[in-house]
Every structure is written in C-alpha cells, then in structure tokens.
Structure 1
C-alpha cells in the first residue's frame, strides 16, 4: 500500500452532471463524495457503469447483511486494504456486529461464528486463493443457500477484491482515523506493524 495517494480524488467541480447524479447516494455525513469513488471518477463513464453493479452488491444483495459484511471485512483484512476495512467496519457496526465478531471473522478465528458465516468465510478464502470452491465446499454452500444467493457470494467477493485492488494500487487513503485497527492476517501476523503500516493507518 503506498504511503500517499498515487492518484488524487477528482474535484467535484470537474465532474459531469450525470456523474454527480450517479454519485448522489455515495456521500459521507458531511456531503462529500467518498474518496474511493472520487478517485475512480478519473474514468467517469466506467465509474457510472460500475456503480450499477456496486449498488446491487451493497444494496440489493440476497445475502444477510451481517454475513456479507463479514465476508467483505475478511477480504479487506487479507488484502491489507485499510480504506475498505474502515468503511465496512462502520457498516458492520450499524448492522449490529460486535468488534469481537468482526475481528474473529477477519483473522480466521471462526469457531464461535454460526455455521452459515463459517461457510461463507471459507468460500471467501477459497475464492480469493483459488478463484473457485471444491465439491465439499460447494455442497456446504448449497445446503444453506439457493443458486441466486451463491451467485451473490461470487459477486460480493469479486466486487470487493476489485475495490481492494484499486485501493492498494492507486493508494486510496483512509478518511481520518481508522474506526478499528486493521489486523494482520499473513504469515507474519504475530509481529508488530512496521512503520509503513502505521503511516498507512494514520
């Protein structure tokens, strides 16, 4: 993750009216367009099209809201995507998830989670690592979900891997302080964060 933004967000004054209209639901409590979307606004046509898909995944998804957020936070933690992590910590808390549950999902400590969330998180990891699931995991998914919901599992993972890639490549910076520290999930997870990580989190 770059220490500074490689691509700066676009000023609203420079955006087309139709882009501003598409971004109307994507503003923070102060009325500012979220940094991720203002950054992607460098390619306005693509952004408007992408927002249609994003709106389905975030707003019309057939998966339970809390379960979907645990999946997204697992992806953000694995990718080290601090901006994605921070935004979805806030959504997850509004969905009623405790920080303890969030951190359990993010770090792989799933034993205390319900069966559906364990299956969804296992599928998330498999899709991140292998871009697919084996027959055993497919059977577990099919025991809990219909085909529509399984497709939404695929869309959710794909969407938020895309966003994590954007964040980490373009250097999208967290807006203010992290709502909850981003856990480390790699092989060196037990080591203390280095100076670079601390700067990214600031």
Structure 2
C-alpha cells in the first residue's frame, strides 16, 4: 500500500470512529468504498456528510447525461491541475461511452473537432466557469435557450462542484 506522506492532513481509517458510522455507511452505499478523498473528508463529519450528499446529487440525481458529466469533470481536473480527479474519473468516462480520443483532447486542453456541438458548448461553460469564474451573457443565454432553467442549474452545479473537488484535492496534496 502506498504511503501518502505529502498529504497535508491525516487519513481517517473507516470503522475506527463510531461517530462517523452513519456517514461512512452512506458513502459505502453510494460509492462501494471509502476512497482516499473520503478518508480525508472524514476529518470533519459535517463536511464529509454534506460533501457526500451534494456530490451524490450532482453525480447521480440530475438529468445531466453521464458522458457530459464526465467530460465536465475531466476538463475541470485538467484546468485545475488535479490528476487524482482525472485518473479517478477516466474509467468512469470510458464506461459511460466517452471515447479515448475525447479523453485525450480534454487532457491536452483542446476544444478539438472530436467534440460535437453540445459537448463544445458544455466545455465552453466549463472553461469559462473554471478559468474566468464569470460566464458571459451570450454563452449563458445560449445555454438557457438550449437547456432551460433546471438543466442549466444542474450543468452549472456540476462544474462548480467539481471545481470544489479539484481545488480541495490540490490544496491538500491528495494525489495518486
């Protein structure tokens, strides 16, 4: 087992703190294991619990198509220099039907011809939110016309949530 000497906080070993039993149970039910990320998050029961609920909603309870969601996640990981997140989601992206070619283009930071118009539009939103924070009116108007309020909220929340994830990972040196 690899040691994580560069982590900036300790890991909480699952099953060692009775006060975390409920949140660990939810994590296990949704994800099948308590990952390295969650072992760090468990340092704060409130954060781990809220994080699990929010990210479960973003990943599993919205109408964002899984391939689009995974492209967003991979793009945010690249833009924020979060290889742990990229590597964690690459197999999920492949399983959801994202091609190796598209994954390579995302890794290289390109809006290549391999992306269809919808994917390009979503990646433009991802880039604007991640790089600039402010999203221009023209892009938001186009997105709203294309998707409506509910889906637009879900898309923006997905980009925002994975910016939070990647920035958390980078700040605490959580990596492979």
Fold shared per TM-score above 0.5: yes
What is the Cα-based RMSD across aligned positions, in Å?
1.8
* CA distances 1:36-66 after superposition (whole Å, capped 9, x unpaired): 1111100012211221111110111211110
Distance in 2 (CA, whole Å) between partners of 1:25 and 1:91 is 18
Determine if contact 2:15/2:21 at 8 Å carries over to the other structure: no
Distance in 1 (CA, whole Å) between partners of 2:28 and 2:15 is 14
What are the ranges of 5 or more consecutive residues in structure 2 without an aligned counterpart? none
Q: Give the match for residue 21 of structure 1.
A: 25
What is the number of equivalent residue pairs in this alignment? 170
For residues 104-143 of structure 1, the aligned pairs below 5 Å read: 104-106=105-107, 107-143=109-145
Determine if contact 1:7/1:171 at 8 Å carries over to the other structure: no
For residues 31-180 of structure 1, the aligned pairs below 5 Å read: 32-106=33-107, 107-174=109-176
Determine if contact 2:78/2:106 at 8 Å carries over to the other structure: no
Q: What's the offset of the Cα at 1:164? A: 0.7
Q: Give the match for residue 10 of structure 1.
A: 12
More helix by share: 2
Alignment CA distance shift 1:26-1:33 (3 Å): farther
Determine if contact 2:23/2:49 at 8 Å carries over to the other structure: yes
Moved over 3 A (4+): none
- Larger RCO (alpha carbons 8 Å, 6+ apart): 1
Q: TM-score, normalised by structure 2?
A: 0.88
Q: What's the offset of the Cα at 1:3? A: 7.5
* CA distances 1:109-148 after superposition (whole Å, capped 9, x unpaired): 3323111110000011111123232122113212321211
Alignment CA distance shift 1:100-1:6 (3 Å): same
Q: What's the offset of the Cα at 1:100? A: 0.8
